[in-house]
Amino acid sequence: MVLLSTACGSHDQPENKPPQSKVERRDASEYLSQPLVKDMYTADPSAHVWDGKIYVYPSHDIDGPTAEDDLGAHFEMRDYHVLSMDKIGEPVTVGPVALDVKDVPWAEKQMWAPDAARKNGTYYLYFPAKDKEGAFRIGVATSKSPMGPFKAQPQPIRGSYSIDPAVFTDDDGASYMYFGGIWGGQLQRNIDGKYDANGSKTDLGQDDKPALAPRVARLTGDMLEFTETPRAIQILDEQGKAILGGDHDRRFFEASWMHKYKGKYYFSYSTGDTHYLAYAIGDSPYGPFTYKGRILEPVEGWTTHHSIVEWNGRWWLFYADTQLSGQTRLRNVKVTELHYNPDGTIQTINPFASPSAKNGAAR
């Protein structure tokens, strides 16, 4: 179990402390891991190891006035702060504002889950936000420091849409962006890459057909644009058939992540309304990927978004739940060790320390 609860700042309670909730609260001892920081709300952690140090690029939750709905309007994030640590299990530093929506010329609101990359001494922050027409696009900002501040490009990446960018750099130096999310993530409104404001609010409503697929596109050498039109990623079952839209336990919802282990490509993602972190394995960064199982059982809270990195010869899962607030919109980032079986499959993690802790029922 990893216990991390120290952060910069002198105040003891998270910002925008929510009112007392009547929801039954668990004791801290019931959770597998503890929040990395307690003086702000963070979620959607994209972790990277650079020069032996761990950097985490999370979204920054705030307690805004918007009512909760199925499309995530209540996730009103406006800026990003980078977390860093020398070692897992030691104090975490929370950086100053790395990028604010007011400094992104094309963006209006909802700075959702970001990711980062490094190339030739420059750090790249990739982020989704809604433009002036209410469509999610993906932007990029650069800095000479992994902590920022980052300066945004004046326009979103051409051909980008939807949410949850995750950038993977392969052994040959080629970098790829994985992205997409249904429901509030608007993937179902961008089937041909053009935003349809009147499109479905959820998915395609075709439970007996292949599920909506996440997207992948290779990045240019300067890491600022796509070299190609984003293509759909195939997620197949063990019989080689496409996962169907009605298979909510296995179909893609949001939160793409890619990592490589022993020469295989591991594409992992959230199933959304069933609250699982699932993964599939392939032989190419483009896929196809064969579904293999779950990485994480449901956490406390609705959303599940993660990253997986190797540090100090061991593998780690970064994720989030609602331990500090008990509210869906106010989350806290955590980390726990991830283990592989001899055949390369991943051992499923229970986010609670005891099987009696309500079996991880989502709230």
Per the annotation, the verdict on 39 as an active-site residue is: no
Q: Which of 179, 161, 175 is nearest to 267 (CA)?
A: 179
Which residue in the list 44, 164, 300, 321 is annotated as catalytic? 44
- Extract the runs of DSSP E, i.e. beta strands, from 51-186: 53-61, 79-85, 93-100, 107-109, 115-119, 122-131, 136-143, 151-152, 166-169, 175-179
CA 118 – CA 358 distance, rounded (Å): 41
Tokens of 308: 């997986």
CA 157 – CA 215 distance, rounded (Å): 14
What are residue 184's phi and psi, to 5 degrees? -65, -20
Tokens of 64: 């805004």
CA 241 – CA 253 distance, rounded (Å): 18
Per the annotation, the verdict on 63 as an active-site residue is: no
DSSP letter at 358 equals: G
Which residue in the list 164, 203, 254, 321 is annotated as catalytic? 254
DSSP letter at 173 equals: S
Show which residues are catalytic.
Answer: 44, 254
